[in-house]
């Protein structure tokens, strides 16, 4: 586990166990070597060979015709939505707790003039199918209403604790979209986590989607980037939109090289991440004063509730954990989030449980150094 380590000058330093998000991972030595040796060229001109390799591989894995590397997941979703909603004033249907709606700065409205029509996300991350269909505007009412163009799903669904949308559910939403001549976009920031948890090939999981954004810097552990996938015509339009939004970059092979290593090395680690997440959730749920909905823990995200009748708060516990070199993400006064990734070990999990036990009860556990 190594709560402390020795640096190159022989000084003792504390090892940080950072579980604020799976975006905090550091590039592995294999990634750094691949980046240093990457073959590169100008990607805006379409000539970077490493970028082309990554895009070709991602399109193959996801079962789509083509792919495009973009700087971030937020840009990937924005590009996808703007390509599908090519008329200002178009409307999309999405969940009220979705990342696109809550955490992406309202970009679809401020930049694209796209109107969001939100539906309630259920505890499992889904939206009711009947509610989706009822929310689709009648095109005959275009004098009064925006025109529905797109349905957006998120898989896995972060704000509901990393819950996974099934193939069956996704297919049914896709059928609804086709029935009403709409498109389906999936925010697949953690789609590989969902596929791993469900035991389903990732291409089958997104088969019904017209476009998918796949984050490379979350569970996969690459330092930068997202890839969006779809048809050749969709990606051709997306490449123009990427340039419009300032996302065209030149020698991006140095970034894509790390992503190729992540695909090769880290997808297979996701199952271990999920096991460590479940282990941590069960350990925390046994501590008096904390509760975790174990049934909601399907991938690598845990929401921990602090009992309101206790003397503790999420902020107070977070500060206590910092003293032990552990970082978590406070959500509100009585709730914090923990996210497991490939650089968190089973020993780190046990150490975290012990530190929280000590913070709440004052009892020093055997796992605390």
Rounded Cα distance, 94 and 266, in Å: 30
Rounded Cα distance, 199 and 189, in Å: 18
Encode pLDDT of 242-291 as tens digits. 999 999 999 999 999 999 999 999 999 999 999 999 999 999 999 999 99
Specify the pairing of strand 91-95 against strand 115-119.
parallel
Flag whether pLDDT at 213 surpasses 80: yes
Q: Which of 160, 166, 168 is nearest to 194 (CA)?
A: 166
Encode pLDDT of 305-339 as tens digits. 999 887 899 999 999 999 999 999 999 999 999 99
Encode pLDDT of 46-66 as tens digits. 999 999 999 999 999 999 999
CB hemisphere CA count around 360 (13 angstroms): 23
Could you tell me if 319 and 11 are in contact, meaning their C-beta atoms sit under 8 angstroms apart?
Answer: no
Instruction: Give this prediction's pTM.
Output: 0.94
* Residue that the structure tokens 């969902």 belong to: 194
Q: Can you give the length of the chain in residues?
A: 369
pLDDT at position 366 is 55
Structure tokens, 95? 């969940």
Question: Three-class SS of residue 265?
Answer: helix
CB hemisphere CA count around 291 (13 angstroms): 9
Rounded Cα distance, 163 and 156, in Å: 5
pLDDT at position 6 is 45
**Residue 144, C-beta contacts closer than 8 angstroms, at least 6 positions apart:** none
CA distances from 211 to 121, 217, 342 (A): 21, 19, 27
* Residue that the structure tokens 């939109």 belong to: 241
């Amino acid at each position: 586990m190594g709560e402390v380590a020795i640096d190159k000058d022989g000084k003792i330093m504390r090892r940080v166990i950072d579980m604020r998000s799976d975006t905090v991972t550091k590039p592995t030595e294999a990634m750094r070597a691949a980046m240093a040796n990457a073959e590169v060229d100008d990607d805006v001109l379409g000539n970077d060979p490493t970028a082309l390799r990554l895009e070709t591989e991602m399109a193959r894995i996801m079962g789509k015709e083509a792919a495009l590397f973009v700087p971030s997941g937020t840009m990937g979703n924005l590009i996808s939505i703007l390509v599908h909603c090519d008329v200002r004033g178009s409307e999309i249907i999405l969940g009220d707790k979705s990342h696109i709606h809550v955490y992406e700065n309202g970009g679809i409205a401020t930049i694209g003039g796209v109107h969001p029509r939100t539906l309630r996300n259920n505890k499992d991350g889904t939206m009711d199918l009947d509610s989706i269909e009822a929310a689709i505007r009648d095109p005959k009412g275009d004098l009064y209403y925006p025109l529905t163009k797109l349905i957006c799903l998120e898989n896995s669904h972060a704000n509901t604790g990393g819950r996974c949308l099934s193939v069956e559910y996704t297919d049914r939403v896709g059928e609804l979209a086709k029935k009403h001549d709409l498109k389906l976009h999936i925010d697949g920031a953690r789609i590989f986590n969902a596929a791993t948890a469900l035991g389903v090939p990732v291409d089958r999981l997104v088969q019904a989607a017209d476009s998918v954004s796949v984050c490379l810097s979350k569970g996969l552990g690459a330092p930068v980037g997202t890839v969006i996938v779809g048809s050749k015509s969709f990606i051709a339009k997306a490449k123009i939109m990427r340039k419009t939004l300032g996302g065209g970059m030149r020698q991006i092979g140095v970034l894509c090289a790390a992503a190729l290593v992540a695909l090769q090395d880290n997808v297979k680690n996701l199952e271990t991440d999920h096991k460590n997440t479940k282990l941590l959730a069960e350990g925390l749920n046994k501590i008096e004063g904390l509760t975790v909905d174990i049934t909601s823990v399907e991938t690598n995200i845990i929401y921990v509730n602090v009992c309101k009748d206790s003397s503790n708060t999420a902020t107070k516990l977070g500060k206590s954990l910092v003293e032990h070199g552990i970082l978590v993400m406070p959500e509100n006064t009585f709730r914090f989030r923990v996210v497991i990734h490939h650089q968190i070990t089973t020993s780190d999990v046990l150490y975290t449980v012990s530190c929280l036990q000590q913070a709440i009860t004052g009892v020093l556990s055997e796992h605390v150094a």
